[in-house]
Structure 1
Amino acid sequence: MAMESKPSIGRLWCLLFFFFFFFFFSFFRCSSSLPSAHPLRSVVDQINERGPFVGLVMAYSAEADAVESSGWFVPANAQPYVDLYGRRFHIGTIRGVHVVYVMSGQRRLNAGITVQILLDVFSVRGIVHFGTAGSANDSISFGDVSVPKFAAFTGSWTWKKFNSLKGSSNQEISFSEYNVPAEGKNLLSTVEFKPEELYSVGQPMKEVFWLPVNSRWFQIAEKLEVELERCANKTYCLPNTPKVVFGLKASTADVFLDNAAYRKFLFKKFGVSTVDEESAAVIMTAISPAVPVIVFRGVSDLAGGEAHWSSTSLSDLASLNALKVAVKFIEVLGRKEHLLLGKD
């Protein structure tokens, strides 16, 4: 009898160990980083019990309106939203997948702050970013949706002195090459594009120029089949049905680009196909703690490459098409648990 009691006690201790491990793991996973005295701490903790969530991030009101009017997002009954740090985080589901969506506001600082709040406060397994963009590539046009594999900040420069010698970097733009007339003098000289300092968990700081989306999530997205919308409204339709393109490069800067010469330069020098003001910030914030992230951008303009001004706004169409692809991607994520983790 004495010999039989030992393994029974061992099994009991083993069960107790796993019970306490599961309890503490669940507690820390569902608890937010809000201070214990924060008035919304208990609300957020209750929300996180329904998670983990996919974070859906957009920058413009037109993009948020597309989510609200689509009917694809179903708000939670108990707590449909929570207001934190001036932003409203909407709680609900898309195609059965638990989602928190939020409008970040424009440009990289707003985007980075919003994604950081999502990661710190909510139980988030990954970030899906969608929105509109300008096209810098003549092969993609109005209504098309780009799913980039890389994005870079192209608004961080070292501005060189006039008549300074050209450096070793090929990531430069000389303004004198764009003089009109050609023989005119341009005192703006040259700028050299700078890499970003990426701080990652468990890794030393490194300087990077291209920021990658999650490779596993990108592979999943490549298999998506989505029928995009062709008509901006009842009276204006595009001549061809828009398409989804994969594996291109995106450029992000705190600049709304509406200049044909600079558009051409970005495509020629860096091979970027879309330009926006948030994507690289979203990617960089997510990959720092190794959280899966992916980007979907609908083309709303040609970044100054239009032959003439169009009287028809295509922003709504671009937003809707980008959202359609994002929703389809989220639906696929919901089918298998391991896909939500961004792992092979």
Structure 2
Amino acid sequence: MRVVVPRRMWAVHWEVMLVGLMVLVQVERCMQLRATHPMHGVVDSINENGGPYIGLVMAYPTEELALQSSAFFVPSSQIPGLTLLKVQHWDNGTIDGVDVIYVMTGEQTLNAGITVQILLDTFEIKAIVHYGTSGSANDSLNLGDVSIPNYVAFTGSWKWKEFKSAEGILTELKFGAFNLPEKGENLLATIEFTPQQLYSVEKPMEEIFWLPIEPKLFNISTKLQDIQLQQCVNETYCLPEAPKVVYGLRGSTADIYLDNAAYREFLFKEFNVSTVDEESAAIVMTSLSNGVPCIVFRGVSDLAGGDEKLSSTSLSSLAAVNALSVAVDFIGLFGEEAVINDQ
């Protein structure tokens, strides 16, 4: 089995991130910026003059560039954006008449979770919309397609087990089953996938593996089936089939850039996972911890090692544009639903 190589060798574990988020949650929303903070008055003005907002969250520069290159986002004429923590920039405006604050988190779970927590603590946020690119672990999910999952899981939390040890509670990955050229025993033994500890508002701690997408938001998204997605990368290269929106699949998140056919096959077989990424579960878990609804849109940019020929073609921009298009149409529908409910 070829080793799946992390994009960056982070020493920080998922559990450490949870502890940090638990501390942040204890601080009352809107009190995160102390009165002496130079941006305190600006944040108050943004919350008073607009919102509550949709928090639009992306992770990679390619995904932010897709938004900036479009005409979807209209910056606020009063306070179009601000920078907190010296490096984190937040943009304030509207999409299809709906108040939106968008932010790029940076890649991987730690950056994504912390950024969303700061977003929720600082601004009046009524829902989180996350879009981005992903790899496909499902042969029926093609390049350019956009997945709207109803569950995501963090599949990067492992318990290493001794060679020939007893089976665990959750799914195990037996390395020997993927030895090349033949299956056989492997002294690397086995890893057992572990659940996460979810701390949410006014609820006891819960161990959970599959994180649910907010059903109300998911139901609104089912009205986007007929959206036309981009099929051509450029004038000379187009995908063989028109991309589509796919509902109700499952997504996997880990601090791993997955380019391994064996591990891809394992995730699909054992967990019925269709997409793989590095941020979605962290964003959904942070939203759940704060009691804020969240939905995820992931465009397929590669096949996670499933097809070397196709995956070598860069389709990140097309996947990002398609995921953004679905997210923008969803925000428009969300705004319409809010107007109807207020009447």
Range class of TM-score, shorter chain? 0.7 to 0.9
Q: Distance in 2 between matches of 1:61 and 1:247?
A: 27
Q: Distance in 2 between matches of 1:173 and 1:274?
A: 18
SS in 2 for 1:35: coil
2:254 matched to which residue of 1?
253
SS in 2 for 1:321: helix
- Structure 1 residues not aligned, in runs of 5+: 1-28
1:290 positional shift: 1.1
Q: Distance in 2 between matches of 1:183 and 1:70?
A: 49
Specify the code of the residue in structure 1 equivalent to 2:164: N
2:34 matched to which residue of 1?
35
Q: Is the 8 A contact 1:32 1:122 kept in 2?
A: no
SS in 2 for 1:288: helix
In our comparison, the structure showing a higher alpha carbon Rg is 1
Post-superposition Cα deviations, 1:37-77, rounded to whole Å, max 9, x if no partner, equal: 11100001001111111000000000000000011000111
Distance 1:311 1:249, change over 3 A: closer
2:21 matched to which residue of 1?
none
1:47 matched to which residue of 2?
46
Q: Is the 8 A contact 1:217 1:339 kept in 2?
A: no
Identity %, equivalent residues: 57
Q: State the number of aligned residues.
A: 312
SS in 1 for 2:309: coil
TM-score (norm 1): 0.87
Q: Is the 8 A contact 1:56 1:102 kept in 2?
A: yes
1:312 positional shift: 3.2
1:161 positional shift: 1.2
1:14 matched to which residue of 2?
none
1:144 matched to which residue of 2?
145
Cα root mean square deviation, aligned: 1.8
Post-superposition Cα deviations, 1:94-122, rounded to whole Å, max 9, x if no partner, equal: 00000000000000000000100110000
Q: Distance in 1 between matches of 2:64 and 2:283?
A: 16
Q: Distance in 1 between matches of 2:252 and 2:161?
A: 22
Q: Distance in 2 between matches of 1:200 and 1:338?
A: 29
Q: Distance in 2 between matches of 1:31 and 1:185?
A: 55
Q: Distance in 2 between matches of 1:327 and 1:307?
A: 32
Q: Distance in 2 between matches of 1:96 and 1:150?
A: 29
Specify the code of the residue in structure 1 equivalent to 2:84: L
1:270 matched to which residue of 2?
271
Q: Distance in 1 between matches of 2:335 and 2:117?
A: 23
Specify the code of the residue in structure 1 equivalent to 2:268: F
1:183 positional shift: 6.1
Q: Is the 8 A contact 1:149 1:249 kept in 2?
A: yes
Q: Distance in 2 between matches of 1:232 and 1:191?
A: 39
Distance 1:236 1:203, change over 3 A: same
Post-superposition Cα deviations, 1:259-287, rounded to whole Å, max 9, x if no partner, equal: 00000000000000000000000000001
2:205 matched to which residue of 1?
205
Distance 1:44 1:274, change over 3 A: same
Q: Distance in 2 between matches of 1:126 and 1:66?
A: 21
Distance 1:327 1:183, change over 3 A: closer
- Structure 2 residues not aligned, in runs of 5+: 1-27
2:331 matched to which residue of 1?
330
Runs of 4+ in 1 over 6 A off after TM superposition: 338-341
SS in 2 for 1:335: helix
1:237 matched to which residue of 2?
238
Specify the code of the residue in structure 2 equivalent to 1:260: A
Q: Is the 8 A contact 1:32 1:45 kept in 2?
A: no
1:166 positional shift: 2.2
TM-score (norm 2): 0.88
Q: Is the 8 A contact 2:59 2:132 kept in 1?
A: yes
What aligned pairs does 1:111-150 form with structure 2 within 5 A after superposition? 111-150=112-151
Q: Distance in 2 between matches of 1:146 and 1:106?
A: 19
Q: Distance in 1 between matches of 2:308 and 2:314?
A: 15
SS in 2 for 1:221: helix
Distance 1:112 1:326, change over 3 A: same
What aligned pairs does 1:103-118 form with structure 2 within 5 A after superposition? 103-118=104-119
1:303 matched to which residue of 2?
304
Distance 1:31 1:270, change over 3 A: closer
Of stretches 177-186 and 103-112 in structure 1, the one that deviates more from structure 2 is 177-186
Distance 1:64 1:183, change over 3 A: closer
Specify the code of the residue in structure 1 equivalent to 2:40: R
1:31 positional shift: 4.6
Q: Distance in 2 between matches of 1:322 and 1:233?
A: 18
Distance 1:312 1:38, change over 3 A: same
Q: Is the 8 A contact 2:305 2:311 kept in 1?
A: no
1:141 positional shift: 0.9
Q: Is the 8 A contact 2:213 2:295 kept in 1?
A: yes
Work out whether 1:220 is the aligned partner of 2:220: yes
Q: Distance in 1 between matches of 2:46 and 2:287?
A: 21
1:58 matched to which residue of 2?
58
Q: Is the 8 A contact 1:134 1:303 kept in 2?
A: yes
